[in-house]
Homo-oligomer: A and B are copies of this chain.
């Protein structure tokens, strides 16, 4: 093992996600495979690829490219990700995944939990 390996590890970096995603995906009706697919999309985006193909995604997952296609379709249909069209500064058309819907749903879920906890706390006080 050499210093160059160490530097390469540093360059690979980390992925940081809100802890709430890990504790709430189940309640948002996501499976573990869908959660990891979303993490892969986030990671590809951080590395500059905003529209990874099912083949690229399945290359890092224990599922087939066909399954990735199906999961992406389901995630779009259930409103967790959306495809955004745009034009680059050089006038080239592009498509990219946006995870804004995921974060919106996560915030909704988080606030719903908070409201419930307050209601329950009040009920405990009243009894």
What is A's interface to B at a CB cutoff of 8 Å?
1-3, 5-10, 12-20, 22-23, 25-26, 30-33, 35-36, 39-40, 43, 60-63, 90, 100, 103-104, 107-108, 110-111, 114
17 residue pairs A–B, Cβ–Cβ below 8 Å: A1-B6, A3-B104, A5-B114, A6-B9, A9-B18, A10-B103, A10-B107, A12-B20, A13-B18, A13-B19, A15-B16, A15-B17, A22-B39, A26-B60, A30-B62, A32-B35, A32-B61
Q: List B contacts of A3 (CB < 8 A).
A: 1, 104, 107-108, 111
Distance to closest chain B CB from A16 (angstroms): 4
What is the predominant secondary structure among interface residues of chain A facing chain B? helix
Q: List B contacts of A40 (CB < 8 A).
A: 22
Q: How far is the CA of A41 from the CA of B30 in the complex (A)?
A: 19
